[in-house]
Amino acid sequence: MSEKEKFYITTAIAYTSKKPHIGNMYEIIFTDSIARYKRQKGYDVFFLTGTDEHGQKIGEIANGMGISPKEHVDNISNEIRAMDDMMNCSYDGFIRTTDEHHEKAVQHIFKKLYDQGDIYKGKYEGWYCVPCESFFTESQLVDGCCPDCGAKVTKSQEEAYFFKMSKYQDRLIKYIEDHPGFIEPESRKKEMINNFLKPGLQDLCVTRTSFKWGIPVDFDPDHVVYVWLDALSNYITAIGYDVDSQSQQYDKLWPADLHVVGKDIIRFHTIYWPIMLMALGLPLPKKILGHPWLLFGEDKMSKSKGNTMYIDDLAKLFGVDGIRYYLLSEMSYAQDGSITPESLIARYNSDLANTIGNLVNRTVTMANKYFDGVVADKNIAEDVDAELKTQCLDSYRKFTDCMDKYRVSEAVSAIMDLARRSNKYIDETMPWALAKDESKLPRLQTVLYNLIESIRYIAVMLKPVIPETAHKIMAQINSDVFDIDSLENFGSGNISKVGTAEILFSRLDEKEMMAKIREIYPLAVQAEEKEEPKKKEKKSEKPEGVASVIDFEDFTKVELRVAKILECEPVPKADKLLRLQLDDGEQGRQVVSGIHTWYEPADLIGKKIILVSNLKPAKLRGVMSEGMILAADTDENTAKVIFVDDSIPAGAKIH
């Protein structure tokens, strides 16, 4: 890019009625990952977020608390901003709809639309829903309640101003059809056209007189401007738009490149907002992306169900990056995601602690142990190196391709593919075995170089996802080449000497964490436990003849390795037991096994077997056993040890 191309990205502005839950916060974290990625790609990014502060509901809540609406929205807006900051959201602008410039600009927008005849004064008779701040006709109600949120509605008649939506309907349909990427995902676009636009738009009531907490219509102050007209304008007022005086910033940034909003408010952004802009004679945003929702298990989060979780509480337990990672990997492009205490712990352990954390720690530790941290490619290559490098480039391409399409969870999974492949590379190349042989040290150097460079790929790609961790990894491998384009060529990392190894993510103890979560959210944990019988039912859908079905996560807890039997002898005073001394690719270990009935030491010495290598050590007849070897029951009374091919080296990990 010769001159930096601008990229203007926004979130919906959050209501300030109450503290937002973790589902609301997903949106800004998702948007932040895109903003950070675009900066990485060299764009001049402006990332806007903020708070939506007017409306009857807020007025009522503040009243109930005995404070003024302004005091209430100040408190909540500050709380939201503090949470955005705590979660490392790199917004450039934060608008509040109580900002003076915004309020004035909204009044001017309203007046302009009125003067040009797009807004007219009439009378509204219908049913009003306070939570949605919307009017409905009798026929729109569902069982006499609000069709959107199900709340009770009240009959209402008032003088009001209306926006001639229908005037722009055909133009908007044509625009949407001519601009295929305007609404995403595609399914949402069809929904908007078929369910809302084609049946015909009604004129929209854009003022209220039943309450005061809003922006007054300056030429008719009994009326306040409808919250959605007020709130949607934020995307232009925040960057300095006003009817008669646009700022340089507005000229540079508008039209927005991307509005990120939740699936429930796509309609406002793809119908009302474009029509407002058309009426103002302004260009339309380039894309509106409606993201799915985060559910608790399979339920909507709600205070009454007690399953509402807050990001500040969870970040204390899982760290900022633990939560960012969870949300960005869990939420797919179009399908709702789910959060439960158990899934939070499981994903943290499997992806962050076991896969990424372990990879970085093992590698940096080995580089320090074997070469005092010095890393250099000695060009002693083997086939497996090419596979690792291909994975680096494949992951990088998949990552950028997905990020360019705002498919963040798929981009994250491309990073994890590389982390898993790199761990496998360690198992395949067995650096600890190479270290034992002086002549293999140059090969070991190449192996470690390849690993450190792969880790750099991971860190560069993690930067928009979990920025703090990405920086920590770069410090450990001591590279300053954070530039994403450097991933075009394997080996551009300017790596020469690593720093000290530090644990990035310690494995969490499930019981301990559940107890901590239960302390904060007793009802949420209970709600999940109530789900347990359902889960158990699911688990019992197992193939016939199988004793029980385990999750993949359970399987990954078992570490299986190939080991060679070096020595073998009977355990005194124990007919069935043999003591085996094994070469496990590391320090060696002793295992006691109950196979003497079928094997004599001579049958076993020199053979290779499968070892369960992370079993808690135990004493059998007073002899310490540090693992277990695998055998198969061939009939009720016979077990046969599983021997493996001699070409598989001792220490090799079995998947």
Helix, strand or coil for residue 168? helix
Query: Rule CB under 6 A: is residue 14 a binding residue for ligand MSP?
Result: yes
| Least distance in angstroms from the C-beta of 484 to ligand MSP | 28
Cβ 2 to ligand MSP shortest distance, Å: 34
Span near ligand MSP by CB under 6 A; candidates 10-18, 144-152, 200-208, 382-390: 10-18
Q: Is the C-alpha dihedral spanning 98, 100, 104, 109 positive or negative? A: negative
C-beta of 193: minimal distance to ligand MSP in Å?
Answer: 20
The answer to whether 23 contacts ligand MSP (rule: CB under 6 A) is: yes
At 291, give phi and psi (nearest 5°): -90, 160
**Number of other CB atoms surrounding residue 544 within 10 Å:** 4
Please identify, using beta-carbon distances, which residue of 16 and 349 lies nearer to ligand MSP: 16
Quote the least distance from Cβ 360 to ligand MSP, whole Å: 31
Chain residue whose CB lies nearest ligand MSP = 262
From the CB of 269, what's the least distance to ligand MSP, in Å? 7
Report which of 552, 562, 652, 616 is spatially closest to residue 351, judged by C-alpha positions.
552
* Residues 575/593, Cβ–Cβ less than 8 Å: no
Cβ 24 to ligand MSP shortest distance, Å:
4
Helices (H), 52-118: 56-65, 69-86, 100-115
* Closest separation in Å from C-beta 634 to ligand MSP: 54
Taking the least distance from each CB to ligand MSP, the nearer of 52 and 321 is: 52
Least spacing, CB of residue 22 vs ligand MSP, in Å: 8
For ligand MSP, the closer CB: 27 or 584 = 27
Interaction between residue 582 and ligand MSP (CB under 6 A): no
**Residue 459 and residue 476 in contact, taking contact as beta carbons nearer than 8 Å:** no
Q: Does 24 bind ligand MSP (CB under 6 A)?
A: yes
With CB under 6 A as the contact rule, the residue among 9, 13, 408, 465 that binds ligand MSP is 13
CB of 97 to ligand MSP, least distance (A): 9
CB of 33 to ligand MSP, least distance (A): 14
Restricted to residues 169-208, the positions that interact with ligand MSP (CB under 6 A) are none
Closest to ligand MSP by CB, 232 vs 239, is 232
Q: Out of 32, 52, 84, 184, which residue is the one contacting ligand MSP (CB under 6 A)?
A: 52
Fill in the per-residue mask, 410 to 449: x = in contact with ligand MSP (CB under 6 A), - = not in contact: ----------------------------------------
Rounded distance between C-alpha atoms, residue 180 and residue 168, angstroms? 19
**CB nearer ligand MSP, residue 80 or residue 459:** 80
**To the nearest whole angstrom, how small is the minimum distance from the Cβ of residue 306 to ligand MSP?**
15
Q: Which is nearer to ligand MSP, 206 or 458 (CB)?
A: 206
Between 354 and 409, CB nearer to ligand MSP: 409
Nearer to ligand MSP by Cβ, of 26 and 348: the residue is: 26
Q: How far is the CB of 261 from ligand MSP (least distance, A)?
A: 5
| From 18-26, 361-369, 497-505, 534-542, span contacting ligand MSP (CB under 6 A) | 18-26
Q: What's the half-sphere exposure (Cβ side, CA atoms, 13 Å) at 320?
A: 14
Q: In whole angstroms, how close is the CB of 599 to ligand MSP at the nearest point?
A: 59
Rounded Cα gap, residues 438 and 407, in angstroms = 47
Q: Which long-range contacts (CB under 8 A, 24 or more apart) does 490-496 make?
A: 490/389, 490/392, 490/393, 490/453, 491/377, 491/453, 493/452, 493/453, 493/456, 495/375, 495/449, 495/452, 495/453, 495/456, 496/374, 496/375, 496/376
Count other Cβ atoms within 10 Å, centred on residue 316. 13
Q: Which of 7, 8, 9, 26 binds ligand MSP (CB under 6 A)?
A: 26
Rounded distance between C-alpha atoms, residue 403 and residue 406, angstroms: 5
Query: With binding defined as CB under 6 A, does residue 293 bind ligand MSP?
Result: yes
Select the span of 12-20, 207-215, 387-395, 519-527 touching ligand MSP (CB under 6 A): 12-20
8 A C-beta contact, residue 422 and residue 459: no
Choose one: 19-27, 310-318, 555-563, 630-638; the region binding ligand MSP (CB under 6 A).
19-27
- Cα(586)–Cα(430) distance, integer angstroms: 10
Residue (309 or 470) nearer to ligand MSP, CB? 309
CB nearer ligand MSP, residue 288 or residue 604: 288
Please state the closest distance from residue 29 (CB atom) to ligand MSP, in A: 10
Task: Decide whether 15 or 43 has the Cβ nearer to ligand MSP.
Answer: 15
Tokens read off for 559: 């570490």
Using the contact rule CB under 6 A, the part of the chain among 16-24, 71-79, 514-522, 618-626 near ligand MSP is 16-24
Q: How far apart are CA 382 and CA 388, in angstroms?
A: 11
Considering only 22-30, 36-44, 218-226, 373-381, which stretch makes contact with ligand MSP by CB under 6 A?
Answer: 22-30
For the CB of residue 84, give the shortest distance to ligand MSP in the complex, in Å.
12
Peptide bond into 255 cis (omega under 30): yes
Q: How far apart are CA 581 and CA 567, in angstroms?
A: 5
**What count of other Cβ atoms lies within 10 Å of the Cβ of residue 52?**
24
Residues between 258 and 287 that touch ligand MSP (CB under 6 A) = 261-262, 264-265
To ligand MSP, the closest distance from the beta carbon of 123 in angstroms equals: 27
Q: How many CB atoms lie within 10 A of CB 597?
A: 12
Residue 570 CB contacts under 8 Å (≥ 6 apart), including other chains: 577, 578, 579, 596, 601
Could you tell me how many helices (H) and strands (E) the chain has, helices first? 23, 25
DSSP code string of 471-534: HHHHHHHT-----GGGGGSTT-S---B------SSPPPPHHHHHHHHHHH-HHHHHHHHHHHHH
E strand or H helix that includes residue 193: none
How is residue 346 written in tokens?
């499981």
Cβ proximity to ligand MSP: between 89 and 461 the closer is 89
Rounded Cα–Cα distance for residues 350 and 357 (Å) = 10
* Total of residues contacting ligand MSP (CB under 6 A): 20
Residue number with CB closer to ligand MSP (266 or 353): 266
In Å, what is the CA distance from 428 to each residue of 295, 332, 387, 563? 40, 33, 11, 14
Among 7, 8, 12, 493, binds ligand MSP (CB under 6 A): 12
Q: How far is the CB of 300 from ligand MSP (least distance, A)?
A: 7
- Rounded Cα distance between 15 and 557, Å, is 43
60 to each of 56, 90, 97, 235, 359, how far by Cα in Å?
Answer: 6, 33, 18, 26, 53
Per CB under 6 A, contacts with ligand MSP among 215-244 are 231-232, 234
Query: What SS3 state is found at 568?
Result: strand
Interface residue with ligand MSP among 256, 288, 301, 430 (CB under 6 A) is 301
Residue 15 engages ligand MSP in binding (rule: CB under 6 A): yes
Q: Calculate ∠ Cα 223-93-412, nearest 5°.
A: 120
Please report, as a single letter, which amino acid is at residue 291. Answer: H
Query: By the criterion CB under 6 A, which residues form the site for ligand MSP?
Result: 12-15, 20, 23-24, 26-27, 52, 231-232, 234, 261-262, 264-265, 293-294, 301
